[in-house]
Amino acid sequence: MRDGFAVRAADLPGKLRVSGEIRAGQHSDLALRAGEAIEIMTGAPVPPGADAVVMIEHCEKAGDTVSIGRTLESGANIAPRGSEARASGVVLERGSRLSYPGVAWLAATGQQTVEVFARPRVAIVSTGDEIVEIGSTPKPHQIRNSNGWSLSAQVKRAGGIPVRMPIAPDTVEDTRWIVEQGLESDMLLLSGGVSAGKYDVVETVLAELGAEFFFDRVLIQPGQPLVFGRVREKLFFGLPGNPVSGMVTFEVFARAALELLSGVNDAPLPLTLARLTRKFTHKPGLTRFLPACVSDAEVTPVEWHGSGDIAALCRANAFLVADADKPEYAAGETIRVLPM
C-alpha cells in the first residue's frame, strides 16, 4: 500500500540488507529472509516472508543497506487478500442504485455486463383549458405548460424516462383518451384537475376507468389535493396544478413510487437537519415544505408568494419541513430539511 521496503516487523528497528526490488506489475520470485529488506512499490505483491512495509519517508538507504529507526506492527501498510471482500460474498445488493463505486467494483471483478432493472417510463399529462405549450405566446387567460417540463426533469433525475403527453383539455372525453394513452407507460402523472372545481375532471375519468383510489388529500402545504391510486395495474398520481405544489408532491410522494418501480429496496425521504439562521413561524395544522437555502448546515427561509411562485424555488436549494404541531422555531434551532 506504500512505496518503501518490505520487512519482517520483528527485525525493526535496525539496519537491514536490501536484497532486491519489486515493482508494481512485475512478477517476482523474491522471498524475504531475516535481516533483509526488499524495496517495493505501491501496488506490488508483498513477497513471502514479509509482514510489513515501511514507508520510504521513514528509511535511510545507503548502498545495499537501509536503516529504519522505528517499529511497525505486523500487517502495517499491507492490504491482505480478502480484506475488501470474501469469495462468494455480496458487495452489490439487489436493489442498490448503481453508482460510480459500483461501476468500479464491477470493472475490477471483470463483470462486463450485469442485469439491471429497466428505467420506468412515466407518462406526464398536463390538464386544463388554460394551458398552452411553451413555444406559444399565452393570451391573458392562458399560461405556459411549465409543469410538464418541470415534472419531466424531476422524473429524469429520479431515474425514470419521462413521456410527455398532449395537454388534456377540461373535457371528460379528451382527458380520457389521453389518460388511456398514458397508461401504456409504467406510471402516470397528471398535473392539475384534481381539486373540487366544476371543470376538474381527472378523478371522474379515472373512476370511469375503474381506478382504485388510495387517498385523495394529504395534510401538507403546498400540495393538499393530491390523488394516488392504481388503474389497470398502473400507479397514478394526480398532482396539484400549482407549480410549487406539483414539485413538492412529486418529491415527497411520487419520487418514492418511481424509485420502487426502478427496483430499489427502499425509498425514504432524504431528510437532514440544519440550524435556522433566524426565527421562523408558520400556521400549525399542516406539515409545510417551504423554499429555503442551506449552506454549511444552516438554513434560511426564502421569501415566497404562494404555490405559484416558481422564482422563489429558483433562489432556493432545499425545502425546510415545518412540523404541523410546532408553529414557532427559534433562531439556532434545528429543523428538518429536504434537499432539492
42: Cβ–Cβ under 8 A, 6 or more apart, which residues? Answer: 1, 2, 3, 24
Q: How many CA atoms lie within 13 A of 243 on its CB side?
A: 21
Same domain? 154 vs 244:
yes
CATH number at residue 277: 2.40.340.10
Does residue 184 share a domain with residue 150?
A: yes
Instruction: Check whether residue 142 and residue 254 sit in a common domain.
Output: yes
- The torsion angle over the Cα atoms of residues 209, 212, 217 and 221, rounded to 10 degrees, is -80
The residue from 29, 44, 68 where one domain ends is 68
* Residue 229, number of CB atoms within 10 A of its CB: 19
Q: How far apart are CA 90 and CA 105, in angstroms?
A: 12
In a domain, 107, yes or no: no
Q: Give the integer Cα–Cα distance in Å for 23 and 217.
A: 67
Of 198, 226, 261, the residue at which a domain comes to its end is: 261
Q: Which pLDDT does position 337 carry in this prediction? A: 98
Tell me the residue range of the domain where 187 lies.
121-261
Whether 83 is in a domain gets the answer no
Are 223 and 241 in contact by the 8 Å Cβ rule? The answer is no
**pLDDT for the residue 196:** 58
Q: Determine the pLDDT at residue 309.
A: 94
Q: What is the CA radius of gyration of the chain?
A: 30
Residue 115 counted as domain residue: no
pLDDT in tens, 209-247: 999 999 999 999 999 999 999 999 999 999 999 999 999
Q: What is the CATH number of the domain that holds 39?
A: 2.170.190.11
Query: What is the predicted pLDDT for the residue at 231?
Result: 96
Sign of the CA dihedral running 197, 140, 175, 250:
negative
**Same-domain pairing of 127 and 241:** yes
State the pLDDT at residue 197. 55
Q: What is the pLDDT of residue 225?
A: 92
pLDDT of residue 201: 86
Specify the CATH number for the domain of residue 180.
3.40.980.10
Q: Residue ranges of the chain with pLDDT lower than 70? A: 193-199
- Say how many domains are in the chain: 3
Residues 240 and 315 in one domain: no
**94 domain residue, yes or no:** no
Q: What integer pLDDT is reported at residue 192 of this predicted model?
A: 87
Amino acid identity of 199? Y
Instruction: Say yes or no: 255 and 277 in one domain.
Output: no
Contact 191, 239 (CB under 8 A): yes
Asked if the structure places residue 218 within a domain, the reply is yes
Q: Are 209 and 328 members of one domain?
A: no
pLDDT tens-digit profile of 134-157? 999 999 999 999 999 999 999 999
pLDDT of residue 200: 76
Does one domain contain both 22 and 44?
Answer: yes
Whether residue 128 is contained in a domain is answered as yes
Length, in residues, of the chain: 340
Strands 52-55 and 4-7: antiparallel
Q: Are 231 and 144 members of one domain? A: yes
Residue 99 inside a domain? The answer is no
CB atoms within 10 A of CB 130: 15
Q: HEC string of 274-333?
A: EEECCCEECCCCCEEEEEEEEECCEEEECCCCCCCCHHHHHCCCEEEEECCCCCEECCCC
Pair (137, 48) in one structural domain: no
Query: Phi, psi at residue 163, to the nearest 5°?
Result: -120, 100
Grid cell in block for residue 20: 532486491
- CB-CB contact of 331 with 278 (8 Å): yes
Beta-carbon contacts of residue 216 (< 8 Å; ≥ 6 apart): 194, 203, 225, 226, 227, 228, 238
- At 127 the three-state DSSP class reads strand
Residues 6+ apart with CB under 8 A from 113: none
Give yes or no: residues 325 and 242 share one domain: no
Q: Tell me which of 41, 68, 95 is where a domain ends.
A: 68
Same domain, 233 and 282: no
184 part of a folded domain? yes
